[in-house]
Amino acid sequence: MASLSFIIGIIGNIISVLVFTSPIKTFLRVVKKKSTENYKVLPYITTLLSTCLWTFYGLLKPDGLLVLTVNGIGAVFQFIYVTLFLIYAPPDKKIKIANTVAVLNVGLPGSVTAITLLAIHDNSTQLIFVGILCAGQTIAMYASPLSSMRIVIKTKSVEYMPFSLSFFLFLNAGIWCIYSVLIKDFFVGVPNAIGFVLGATQLILYTIYKNKSKMSVKSRDVMSEESPAELVKGAIEMQGNDQEINLKNRSLNKGSSMPKQQINRQYSMPKITKTLSFGPHELHYNCAPIDDVEVGEKHQP
């Protein structure tokens, strides 16, 4: 059983490292452009906090080597990302980022370490205290995609929920959930079980709305391509209706002592064609209301 848990832990380490290294491409772009652009630093600051706490938990736990190694590696990567943010962030944001890092990545872990080592002397109590903090932080991290899931349901589009990230988070949570069962670690198991369920939900949503997203994009493209043709077709049909109505009016007025003056319809083919060529200002000044057109034509000599 110990060997199996070690193998599962090694697999979990590999997957977690892949997740930790996924932003490398983003930060290569940051370094190249010497700007953080619109990227947000808070996810990296909170992940650095989480990996620091889990590294400390791995140090306290007698058989916590695999927890220690993966989170130690993760802390190094997150430290590099946060440092690059401090270097390339706009000057007006550097002070705010530095203050946030000082509180969350220096002050909080330092306080937890000091309280654990100085105020709590029993190892099991130390593990419970740090484990609760780690579990709470991990649950908050796994719950962060809930907003993107809400957007997917609302828009019926998976555009804002990348499949690869959802899949690797799901896989990572599943592996560590199995590992926690094998070593009987409640603090590792609970947050990763929640992450596994949320990851599975994201994949289900992706499966449901993936085809719908493609269909909606395709239908928008078809509508954009067919709209001019449909407009011309409608204009031609309208012109035909106008001619039919004029013929009927002529037949009705035939033989009358006072022939009824015909009023040109506003939506004839030439006028539609001319209107389609108008700009916004020309439309405002050239498209008069129907009543005004009729009054103007009635007063013509």
Domain boundary among 155, 183, 201: 155
- The answer to whether residue 162 is domain-embedded is no
Q: What is the pLDDT of residue 211?
A: 75
- The answer to whether residue 205 is domain-embedded is no
Domain count, the chain: 2
Same domain, 36 and 145: yes
pTM above 0.85, yes or no: no
Q: Which among 55, 18, 12 has a CA at the least distance from the CA of 183?
A: 12
Q: How do residues 236-292 score in pLDDT, each as one tens digit?
A: 455 555 555 555 555 545 544 444 444 444 444 444 444 444 444 444 444 444 444
Same domain, 44 and 126: yes
- The answer to whether residue 184 is domain-embedded is no
Domain boundary among 94, 124, 155: 155
At residue 68, does pLDDT exceed 50? Answer: yes
Domain boundary among 135, 155, 175: 155
- The answer to whether residue 212 is domain-embedded is no
Q: How do residues 91-134 score in pLDDT, each as one tens digit?
A: 888 999 999 999 999 999 999 999 999 999 899 999 999 999 99
Same domain, 16 and 144: yes
Mean pLDDT across 151-161: 79
Same domain, 109 and 234: no
- The answer to whether residue 207 is domain-embedded is no
Same domain, 132 and 245: no
Same domain, 54 and 151: yes
242: containing domain: 228-253+260-298
- The answer to whether residue 222 is domain-embedded is no
Same domain, 283 and 143: no
Q: What is the mean pLDDT of the chain?
A: 77
- The answer to whether residue 196 is domain-embedded is no
Same domain, 149 and 239: no
Same domain, 142 and 20: yes
- The answer to whether residue 291 is domain-embedded is yes
Q: Which among 6, 85, 75 has a CA at the least distance from the CA of 42?
A: 85
Same domain, 248 and 109: no
